Structure 1
Amino acid sequence: MTRQLYDHQHAAIELLRTSLRNGHTRPMLMAPTGFGKTLTAAQIIRNALNRGKKVAFTVPSISLIDQTVEEFGAEGITEIGVMQADHPLTDASKPVQVCSVQSLVKRQFPWVDLVLNDEAHEMHKVIFRWMAERQSIPFIGLSATPWSKGLGRYYDDLLIAATTKDLIERGYLSKFRVFAPSHPDLKGVHTVGGDYHEGELAAAMDKPQLVADVVSTWMRLGENRPTFCFAVNRAHARSLEAEFQHAGITTGYIDAYTEREDRNRIGQAFNAGRVKVVVNVGVLTRGIDWDVRCLILARPTKSEKLFVQIVGRALRTAEGKEDALILDHSDTTLKLGFVTDIHHEHLDTGKPEEGSSARPAKKQKLPTECPAAGCSYVKPAGVHKCAACGFEPVYRKAVETVDGELHQVGGKTRTYTQAEKQRFWSGLLWYVEQKGKSEGWAAHSYKDRFGVWPRGLSARPVEPDIQCRHWVKSRAIAFAKGMEKREHANAA
């Protein structure tokens, strides 16, 4: 029994009809996570079959072949042949051909009247060769993130029936909250092909204090939710897996070499609650509909496409799910913005836009981290009151300053929680371990801040939060100014 289309899916099909009627032969349909791409594609195929047409549907990896066949079968499309090695469903006479791009490289292209190219942003050369050889038939690109550089050289019309923001506002996707609990030092990590150099990035992220912070933060903020954790490479992922296991948290591991049976077994345990966290290396960004309610981003990226694909794994709705929790240990949200802010109205042609003298579009303001100690909630630009802790900075008018001495007057003293003190102390110990500071410096710095010595606290270093960094920086500035003042006094 086929499912009914939602209004945005009807709109997508109507946009496609209009585009093809207007002479476009290479339309690109943007279908964000949660759009219902498979259902929409099934309806497009059904419409073509009703007119006596043959259709090819391409997938970017062999692992998606059987999944696609099963999903189409559930929508009543069963006359399917498969182009992938010696697959048991190989049958060139069937009106629908599900093809892996890997097999297309080695075989003749099927003779069809329409091609649907899934995950079109991956820009496989064999698809472009097919386009060049069969210019008379339409190729429809499908992608949640059709923003690849040069994609507009091959597709001629971007169709946007809905955005991630639209789907969240209408309840088709989950709301989300973001926390930025740690800030990795990526100095010295180069950029290759538009993103961080993987080896250098792994070396920067696979450090004991950062790995430990991922786990301790999840235990503090993760609410015991079913969680995906994205790592940089296999070694980094294994470090994270080991740290979670050491903390007594049942953890699964998946990478590109994980057998399908093992992946299915982990998925079943995850959905049953027997596995709380699944650490992976970039393989759970597509074709996955598990009930993910928390996502750990331990893999910094400059790629909007990768960022949106990753966060999208946590945005599917589920029974009893009020929102998704994003624990961003990569600073990616602070650098790229929320996934709902990332949007492009045009395909990239790889060339300067015509009318370059036109005024450039205003750049989206980036979100900010709550400055309250121990919070780390990420707020939208322009929002002053933190929705997580309620902190709201008080802005004062500029005042005139004069030299003089400060004396304490009456008033309430800020009371700090044990967790806030521990986080500050752990941050100071990070400076001892990473920056060569002495333990005496750390102890005296703690006493300067809180008025007592750091007794009864854990001696585990953790990368400092923004409050600790600002405090240490302010002390260094004050010390430098004091030295400068004394030098001037001695010179006089």
Structure 2
Amino acid sequence: MTFALRNYQSTAIEELLAWWDTHPGLDQIPIAVLPTGAGKSVIIADLVRQLFALWPEYHPRTLVIVPSKELAEQNAEKLATVLPAHLRIGYYSASVGKKDPTADVIVATIGTVAKNAHVLGNICCVLVDECHLISPDGAGQYRAFLTDLARYCQFRTAGLTATPFRGNGIWLTDGKAPLFTGIATEVRLRQLLDEGYLSPLVRPVDVLEQIDASGVEVSKATGDYDLHQLSEVVDAYIESAARQSVRIAVDRKKWIAFCPTVANAEKLARALNGLGVVTQVVTGDTPKAIRESLIGQFRAGKIRCLVTVLALATGFDVPDVDCILWLRPTKSPVLYVQGAGRGLRIAPGKTDCLWLDFSDTTARLGPIDEIRGRARRSSQPGTAPFAVCDDCGAQVRPASLLVCPECGYVMREEEAPSARKVSDAAVLASQVKQKIHRYEIDRVEYAKHEKAGSPPSLRVEYWAGYRCVAREWVCLSHSGYALAKARSWFSDRSPAGYSHLPGSVDQALEWIDTGFELRRPSAIVVNETAKFPEIVSYEWNSTGGPERGAEPDALAA
């Protein structure tokens, strides 16, 4: 059985397969960035279906690795819906209670499969769900397992996650020995919100009492607050937070709450129950049978609030959650995005999810749809073998490149960039006051941009009067996603009915110099809120360019 994929899901699969094709080495391992609610299990299932359809002669047995029983069952359910009947799906998971190492597609929990690579036979593809759990520094059971499996077979690997960075914010493609080497595809949270596939988070009108964690030490090991100290600080705010939540979220039906420790969670549950909100605690130590029962009662509406530490941060799929209580001050963008993501799923009758942040997390980390990874700080600046793209996380070699060859992002400009702006504590970027300007364009200039060690790009400058108001770089001589974007850009500006595209930056400039006229926008809209100005839309009219242009002889043959 098959079902209709959403457009972004089909695109994600196409881009992941294309990335593997253009990066053939087995040590080239990409990440697919898919926000909470994007349908990772659906994408995994259809990707596996396509692997067997494309290469039936290889019988590409696939291993899907997940961190929990819940995710194992979700993935197996979607696989059973999509795959043809002759392909057998099996579990290798102690928590599920089944170990089938001979199935065509194996869904395994990492804790069970970690030391059992030798029993799996020939595996052609490994897909790691929630891959942000893998250490970028060469340690951990995921790395040990993949190294062990490579002794017995050759396989392609990909990771999937909503957050392609570690808890300290460093890209998974960065680190001392990163497993992942690039971002093959990314679905942006903003796109899913705009298209109605996710439900927005909203802040209350009331000002919440804020937990003051300024005196809490930061752990050198984790980069986050010391949990023992944080628990003591949060404890003093729990009663007040419970009273405020009951008053503000009176019309909300399904709440989840995040606390730093089990002791905090249990105290909050007692406070909420005392105020008439039926509440239970679910933690990593909750026995599986009890956990499943509590989540089942929560789904059925018999429990109004579940309080947790981290147990509900991933793999918890209750779409109609409409209120989140955040009593977990953190410096970790992963915890923040994963926790807030529990309220993003859409459900019948749900219009939004109330985000009650009793900490400074939202104010400090910013809107969840604008959070990106960061490169680690080098103890010896200028010696790194690669840079990491701020926008997509790809490893960029050499480190001196100005434009990311994978996504076309301008990593830095030769001119001084504009300063970053404050987010004003909005949980979504749409709630931030944007600095948007519209410019009527008088002319567009094109030039070749070169940097030692990288392919050239076509620099496009938009002029309003005597001022260059925006630039963009079109990567016609690159490969992968950057080239696909460049071709789309050039096609949009070519005369109507004209389908040829230049094969390089030099050829594009030769065409322009010999009379080929690209359509010129009459105006552009530029967002100057972020680090670098970004063109967000183009306006066209009949004077923006010719209906037909001279077709260059170079592509006539």
Q: Residues of 1 paired with 2:397 and 2:330: CA distance? A: 24
Name whichever of 85-94 and 281-290 sits farther off. 85-94
> Could you tell me whether the CA contact under 8 Å between 1:367 and 1:379 is conserved in 2?
no
Spell out the pairing of 1:86-125 with structure 2 (5 A cutoff). 89-109=98-118, 110=120, 111-123=122-134, 125=140
> Could you tell me whether the CA contact under 8 Å between 2:364 and 2:425 is conserved in 1?
no
> Could you tell me whether the CA contact under 8 Å between 2:16 and 2:185 is conserved in 1?
no
Spell out the pairing of 1:33-52 with structure 2 (5 A cutoff). 33-50=36-53, 51=56, 52=59
Spell out the pairing of 1:202-221 with structure 2 (5 A cutoff). 202-207=231-236, 210-221=237-248
Give the structure 2 partner of residue 367 of structure 1.
Answer: 423
Does structure 1 residue 54 correspond to structure 2 residue 61? yes
Over 3 Å counting, the alpha-carbon distance change for 1:353 and 1:121 in structure 2 is farther
Q: Residues of 1 paired with 2:243 and 2:401: CA distance? A: 52
Q: 3-state DSSP class of the match of 1:367? A: coil
Give the structure 2 partner of residue 235 of structure 1.
Answer: 263
Q: 3-state DSSP class of the match of 1:191? A: coil
More helix by share: 1
Name whichever of 217-226 and 170-179 sits farther off. 217-226
Question: Could you tell me how far 1:361 is from its partner in structure 2?
Answer: 6.7
> Could you tell me whether the CA contact under 8 Å between 1:366 and 1:380 is conserved in 2?
no
> Could you tell me whether the CA contact under 8 Å between 2:328 and 2:359 is conserved in 1?
yes
Q: Residues of 2 paired with 1:271 and 1:185: CA distance? A: 34
Unaligned runs of 5+ in 2: 374-390, 403-410, 436-557
Q: Residues of 1 paired with 2:154 and 2:418: CA distance? A: 40
Give the structure 1 partner of residue 531 of structure 2.
Answer: none
Question: Could you tell me how far 1:63 is from its partner in structure 2?
Answer: 5.0
Q: Max radius of gyration: which structure?
A: 1
Which of the numbers 72, 79, 88 marks the counterpart of 1:79? Answer: 88
Give the structure 2 partner of residue 188 of structure 1.
Answer: 215
Q: Match for 1:188: what amino acid?
A: G
Which of the numbers 185, 192, 204 marks the counterpart of 1:167? Answer: 192
Give the structure 2 partner of residue 481 of structure 1.
Answer: none
Q: Residues of 2 paired with 1:87 and 1:283: CA distance? A: 17
Name whichever of 307-316 and 88-97 sits farther off. 88-97
Query: In the comparison of the two structures, how many residue pairs are matched?
Result: 377
> Could you tell me whether the CA contact under 8 Å between 2:316 and 2:342 is conserved in 1?
yes
Q: 3-state DSSP class of the match of 2:307? A: strand
Which of the numbers 392, 399, 407 marks the counterpart of 1:346? Answer: 392
> Could you tell me whether the CA contact under 8 Å between 1:8 and 1:161 is conserved in 2?
no
Which of the numbers 382, 389, 404 marks the counterpart of 2:433? Answer: 382
> Could you tell me whether the CA contact under 8 Å between 1:369 and 1:378 is conserved in 2?
no
What do the CA deviations read for 1:230-260 (whole angstroms, capped 9, x no partner)?
A: 1110000011001001111111210111123
Question: Could you tell me how far 1:369 is from its partner in structure 2?
Answer: 6.1
> Could you tell me whether the CA contact under 8 Å between 2:210 and 2:359 is conserved in 1?
yes
> Could you tell me whether the CA contact under 8 Å between 2:90 and 2:99 is conserved in 1?
yes
Which of the numbers 172, 180, 186 marks the counterpart of 1:151? Answer: 172
Question: Could you tell me how far 1:59 is from its partner in structure 2?
Answer: 0.8
Question: Could you tell me how far 1:94 is from its partner in structure 2?
Answer: 1.2
Does structure 1 residue 270 correspond to structure 2 residue 326? no
Q: Match for 1:112: what amino acid?
A: I
Give the structure 1 partner of residue 357 of structure 2.
Answer: 328
> Could you tell me whether the CA contact under 8 Å between 1:80 and 1:89 is conserved in 2?
no
Q: Match for 1:382: what amino acid?
A: K
Q: Match for 1:119: what amino acid?
A: E
Spell out the pairing of 1:306-455 with structure 2 (5 A cutoff). 306-344=335-373, 345-347=391-393, 354=400, 358=412, 364-368=420-424, 380-382=431-433
Q: Residues of 1 paired with 2:129 and 2:422: CA distance? A: 31
Q: Match for 1:365: what amino acid?
A: K
Question: Could you tell me how far 1:342 is from its partner in structure 2?
Answer: 1.2
Give the structure 2 partner of residue 7 of structure 1.
Answer: 7
Q: Residues of 2 paired with 1:321 and 1:89: CA distance? A: 37
Higher relative contact order (CA 8 A, sep 6+): 1
Over 3 Å counting, the alpha-carbon distance change for 1:363 and 1:104 in structure 2 is farther
Q: Match for 2:306: what amino acid?
A: V
Question: Could you tell me how far 1:213 is from its partner in structure 2?
Answer: 2.1
Give the structure 2 partner of residue 141 of structure 1.
Answer: 159
CA RMSD of aligned residues (A): 3.0
Q: 3-state DSSP class of the match of 1:140? A: strand
Q: 3-state DSSP class of the match of 2:345? A: coil
Q: 3-state DSSP class of the match of 1:35? A: coil
Does structure 1 residue 129 correspond to structure 2 residue 129? no
Normalised to the residue count of structure 1, the TM-score between the two structures is: 0.70
Over 3 Å counting, the alpha-carbon distance change for 1:131 and 1:272 in structure 2 is closer
Q: Residues of 1 paired with 2:107 and 2:77: CA distance? A: 11
> Could you tell me whether the CA contact under 8 Å between 2:114 and 2:144 is conserved in 1?
no
> Could you tell me whether the CA contact under 8 Å between 2:183 and 2:394 is conserved in 1?
no
Q: Match for 1:145: what amino acid?
A: T
Q: 3-state DSSP class of the match of 2:99? A: coil
Give the structure 2 partner of residue 388 of structure 1.
Answer: none
Q: Residues of 2 paired with 1:181 and 1:378: CA distance? A: 20
Does structure 1 residue 197 correspond to structure 2 residue 245? no
Q: Residues of 1 paired with 2:224 and 2:189: CA distance? A: 23
What do the CA deviations read for 1:89-133 (whole angstroms, capped 9, x no partner)?
A: 422221111122112332225320000011111015333234445
Over 3 Å counting, the alpha-carbon distance change for 1:358 and 1:315 in structure 2 is closer
Q: Residues of 2 paired with 1:304 and 1:147: CA distance? A: 8
Q: Residues of 1 paired with 2:255 and 2:95: CA distance? A: 36
Q: Match for 2:424: what amino acid?
A: T
Question: Could you tell me how far 1:349 is from its partner in structure 2?
Answer: 6.6
> Could you tell me whether the CA contact under 8 Å between 2:255 and 2:323 is conserved in 1?
yes
Question: Could you tell me how far 1:164 is from its partner in structure 2?
Answer: 1.0
Question: Could you tell me how far 1:355 is from its partner in structure 2?
Answer: 5.7
Unaligned runs of 5+ in 1: 371-375, 385-492
What do the CA deviations read for 1:361-397 (whole angstroms, capped 9, x no partner)?
A: 7665333369xxxxx999944379xxxxxxxxxxxxx
Over 3 Å counting, the alpha-carbon distance change for 1:170 and 1:54 in structure 2 is same
> Could you tell me whether the CA contact under 8 Å between 2:182 and 2:395 is conserved in 1?
no
Q: Residues of 2 paired with 1:311 and 1:364: CA distance? A: 24
Q: Match for 2:67: what amino acid?
A: P
